[in-house]
Each structure stands twice: as structure tokens, then as C-alpha cells.
């Protein structure tokens, strides 16, 4: 198996998204925290870059949506609107 740069970037992206999700489930990160958002953003960009050689429309659409939602969350976090006012919200 001969992995190219885009394969390695995709693997790293996948690991970042999985790490973010694991840390969220382990209650080490908040879903509205900056680190969680950045892990998701860079992870999705990495997976998207891995499509450079072999394009896959379904994965592309998923990653673009992931990036858009993450950017929305980042904007809310930076503006201070990402923290819920009541527990459980």
C-alpha cells in the first residue's frame, strides 16, 4: 500500500473527528467549546482533502456540511453565545 499526502491528511482528519467525539462522550470537552469546534473543523478539512485523488460526492457533501455547521458553532462560541443559559440545553 502506497499512501500519498492526501491519504495521510485524510487519516489525520478522521482521527481528529474521532478524538473530538470521544472526548465529548468522555466529558473531557464541551460540545460548545473552542477545542471541540477546532478539532471538528480541522478533521473535516482533512477528510475533504483526502478526496483530492478519488472524489466521493457523499463524503464531500457530508464534510462540507460538517464544516458549515462547525463554523456556525465557532462563530457562536467566539461571540459568547455557545454557552447554554440553563443546564441541559
Give the model's pLDDT for residue 1: 85
Going by C-beta distance under 8 Å and a sequence separation of 6 or more, which residues neighbour residue 31? Answer: 24
Going by C-beta distance under 8 Å and a sequence separation of 6 or more, which residues neighbour residue 50? Answer: 6, 7, 9, 10, 11, 13
53 lies in some domain:
yes
Give the model confidence (pLDDT) of 15-38 as tens digits. 999 999 999 999 999 999 999 999
C-alpha cell at 34: 473552542
86 lies in some domain:
no
pLDDT over threshold 90, residue 12 = yes
Give the model's pLDDT for residue 45: 98
65 lies in some domain:
yes
89 lies in some domain:
no
Q: How many domains does the chain have?
A: 1
Between residues 38 and 84, which one has the greater pLDDT? Answer: 38
**Which range of residues forms the domain containing residue 31?**
5-78
Amino acid at each position: 500500500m502506497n499512501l500519498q499526502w492526501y491519504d495521510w491528511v485524510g487519516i489525520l482528519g478522521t482521527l481528529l473527528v474521532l478524538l473530538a467525539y470521544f472526548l465529548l462522550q468522555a466529558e473531557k470537552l464541551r460540545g460548545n467549546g473552542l477545542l471541540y469546534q477546532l478539532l471538528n473543523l480541522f478533521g473535516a478539512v482533512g477528510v475533504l482533502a483526502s478526496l483530492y485523488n478519488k472524489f466521493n460526492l457523499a463524503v464531500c457533501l457530508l464534510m462540507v456540511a460538517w464544516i458549515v455547521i462547525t463554523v456556525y458553532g465557532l462563530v457562536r462560541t467566539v461571540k459568547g453565545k455557545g454557552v447554554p443559559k440553563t443546564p441541559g440545553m
